[in-house]
Amino acid sequence: MTDKTYQDRLRNIAKAQGNGEPPRQTVDGDDGEASCEAFGYLRGIRDHATSIEFRFRDGNSIFFPYGLLGVWQHNPSEGLLLKFSGDLVYVVLIRGSNLDKPLKEGSINLTHAGLQRHRVLWIREMTKEEIRQVGETGPTIDLIEVAGFESNDALKEWLGKKASAFVR
């Protein structure tokens, strides 16, 4: 007898394993995905993501293709500012701490080995409890703000109000 759907096949595999759950994907070697509380990334040093997802505490997400990523800046006292240019100019302001701190394995951080190399898959706002638990041991994301602009003047005005260190 053949399984009718993909879900049926997964259930049958899970029953055969005796745990009632579908098998989980495992990561072998230096390939695959990994994450910390603040962001997810591609493990392979030569791997590149095509887009980045920003996850908000309310459950919403927004995706931007890396191909639209232009200038981005890191200022430890203000956070990260990423600029995406498409039909509008979008900026993503990321507030947090230790944004450039390497993770425990030391091969990646959010800035240089992550965003710079297009290995970051997602960045998410963390809860106060998660931020407290991570403390100074790793990166934390307090807030992500996304705004779109039709003019450079509007962009500068917004930055002046939200993150004046990035205004030039």
Measured CA to CA, the distance from residue 128 to residue 143 in angstroms comes to 11
Q: Where are the alpha helices (DSSP H) in 6-113?
A: 6-17
pLDDT higher than 70, residue 5:
no
Instruction: Say which range, 31-45, 115-129, 141-155, has the weakest mean pLDDT.
Output: 31-45
Mean pLDDT across 3-29? 48
Task: Please report which confidence band the pLDDT of residue 26 belongs to, taking 50, 70 and 90 as the band edges.
Answer: very low
The answer to whether residues 83 and 89 touch, using CB atoms and an 8 Å cutoff, is yes
Measured CA to CA, the distance from residue 25 to residue 18 in angstroms comes to 17
Which of 10, 8, 4, 46 lies closest to 25 in space, CA to CA?
10
Q: Where are the alpha helices (DSSP H) in the chain?
A: 6-17, 128-134, 152-162
pTM: 0.79
pLDDT (0 to 100) of residue 45? 80
Task: Please report which confidence band the pLDDT of residue 46 belongs to, taking 50, 70 and 90 as the band edges.
Answer: confident
pLDDT digits (tens, 9 = 90+) for 102-146: 998 777 999 999 999 999 999 999 999 999 999 999 999 999 999
Mean pLDDT across 75-101? 95
Measured CA to CA, the distance from residue 95 to residue 162 in angstroms comes to 11
